[in-house]
Amino acid sequence: MSFHPDQIRSQYPALQNGVAWLDGAAGTQVPTSVIEAIAGAYRHGIGNTGGAFPASHYSEQIQWGAREAVADLVGGVAEGVFFAQSATTITYHISRTLAQGWVAGDEVIVSRLDHDSNVRPWIHAAESAGATVRWAEIDLETGDLPADQYKELVNGRTKVIAVTAASNVLGTKPDISRIAEIAHSAGALIYVDGVHATPHFPIDIDAMSADFYVTSAYKWQGPHIAALAADPKLLQSLTPRKLASSTPDSPNKYELGTPPFADLAGVSAAVDHMAGLVAGTGTRRERITTSMTAVAAYQKALAGHMLDSLRAMPKVHVFGKLKDKTPTAYFTVAGYEPLQVAQKLSEGGVNVWNGHNYAWEVTAALGIRDKGSAVRAGLSLYNNEDDVERLLKIVSAL
């Protein structure tokens, strides 16, 4: 079953302005179904949960519906899913929660490849417990994060390995199941940042053996909210800081204060949208897998063309060499600051990002962070050949 973005582009109001939106790695546009789901929840009337009246029950339905949707998206179960404002908020929450059980001399492993969102919270948690931080390093030439280095990094004191399922700039996809195997052999947990990976591939947290998997809906055509998926028993066993008056039951005990119920309706609509990208049958989980397999195949071909064309331009340097990666190009153009390249592209109706994109350690390791870092162009599921050709035409003329 093949996928082409032109089948769905008309469903995205924001795309109708004619701009090539190649900025989706920082946040995607949303289809009408997501906008309507959010507006529809407000139109219906929502109440806070735990009340004795229908609008309160309606919010509970929305909340559990969104948990089921995220579980279907990543291969988890609804009882193991909770939401918060952002992936960063969730990672701080879980790292602080886990650190309550750490003592001086315990260890955590972070990676140089990760978005700072999956680095700094662990460093701060380690500081609070007197734990040691160890680093997994990138192969700067290829952009790879070799999995076997974790064999040397783990030991009996390792509590957590925090690692990304895909780099938000280089697009590298570390071998998570291998890293998880090494973590578990040492009795450690693995916390996986799935924010950049989830929009591009079918995700199966069981196959990855991820203990925690965090993802942000605004990267996959949903509202600005994030979710964590984990084994419900693991979540129940931990004691996040929370109000005395709030429920001790998981996953609700992780959601501090009142959730944005209307946005949660948007989360379910975004997942339904992803499940319906190509004609498919079976459960929503099966349809998501069919759809995202087709999206990945389309994006691989188009990103391959984008990357090969950029690499062939004499003035352009593309970071990373791997073929099996997300459809993301991170590049510089000789004679231009990354900001100038982004401005030229914007003048030509192409949205891209410039700068470190919070890949704080990656850009420092590459030696570019103090020089404006680089330009990032990434494909979202609504980007087509025309978007890429416009990018290539402007960059080649620089």
Ligand X SMILES: Cc1ncc(COP(=O)(O)O)c(C=O)c1O
Task: Between 200 and 344, name the residue whose CB sits nearer to ligand X.
Answer: 200
Residue 123 CB, nearest distance to ligand X (Å)? 15
CA angle 118, 380, 171 (to 5 degrees): 45
Residue 151 CB, nearest distance to ligand X (Å)? 25
Residue 50 CB, nearest distance to ligand X (Å)? 27
Residue 26 CB, nearest distance to ligand X (Å)? 6
Alpha helices (runs of H) in 188-313, residue ranges in sequence order: 205-208, 232-237, 261-275, 284-311
CA angle 363, 345, 88 (to 5 degrees): 40
Residue 61, burial from CB neighbour count under 10 angstroms (0-12, 13-18, 19+): middle
**DSSP helix/strand/coil, 377:** strand
Which DSSP string do the residues of 124-175 spell out, in sequence order? HHHHHHT-EEEEEPP-TTT----TTHHHHH--TTEEEEEEESS-TTT-B---
**How far from the centroid of its chain's Cα atoms is residue 327's Cα?**
13
Interface with ligand X (CB under 6 A): 26, 86-88, 115, 117-118, 164, 168, 193, 195-196, 216, 226, 358
Residue 90 CB, nearest distance to ligand X (Å)? 8
Residue 25 CB, nearest distance to ligand X (Å)? 6
Residue 185, burial from CB neighbour count under 10 angstroms (0-12, 13-18, 19+): exposed
Quote the CA–CA distance of 111 and 113 in Å, as a whole number.
5
Residue 88 CB, nearest distance to ligand X (Å)? 3
Task: Between 87 and 375, name the residue whose CB sits nearer to ligand X.
Answer: 87
Task: Between 278 and 352, name the residue whose CB sits nearer to ligand X.
Answer: 352
Task: Between 174 and 202, name the residue whose CB sits nearer to ligand X.
Answer: 174
**DSSP helix/strand/coil, 390:** helix
Which DSSP string do the residues of 267-293 spell out, in sequence order? HHHHHHHHHTSS---S-HHHHHHHHHH
Residue 213 CB, nearest distance to ligand X (Å)? 12
**Tokens, residue 336:** 């231009």
Residue 348 CB, nearest distance to ligand X (Å)? 24
| Type and span of the H or E element at 56 | helix 54-74
Task: Between 113 and 302, name the residue whose CB sits nearer to ligand X.
Answer: 113
Task: Between 195 and 294, name the residue whose CB sits nearer to ligand X.
Answer: 195
Residue 164 CB, nearest distance to ligand X (Å)? 6
Task: Between 87 and 229, name the residue whose CB sits nearer to ligand X.
Answer: 87
For residue 32, the tally of other CB atoms under 10 A from its CB is 13
Quote the CA–CA distance of 24 and 306 in Å, as a whole number.
15
Residue appearing with tokens 């040397």: 152
Task: Between 309 and 326, name the residue whose CB sits nearer to ligand X.
Answer: 326
CA distances from 250 to 79, 81, 247, 256, 379 (A): 7, 9, 8, 12, 36
**How far from the centroid of its chain's Cα atoms is residue 210's Cα?**
14
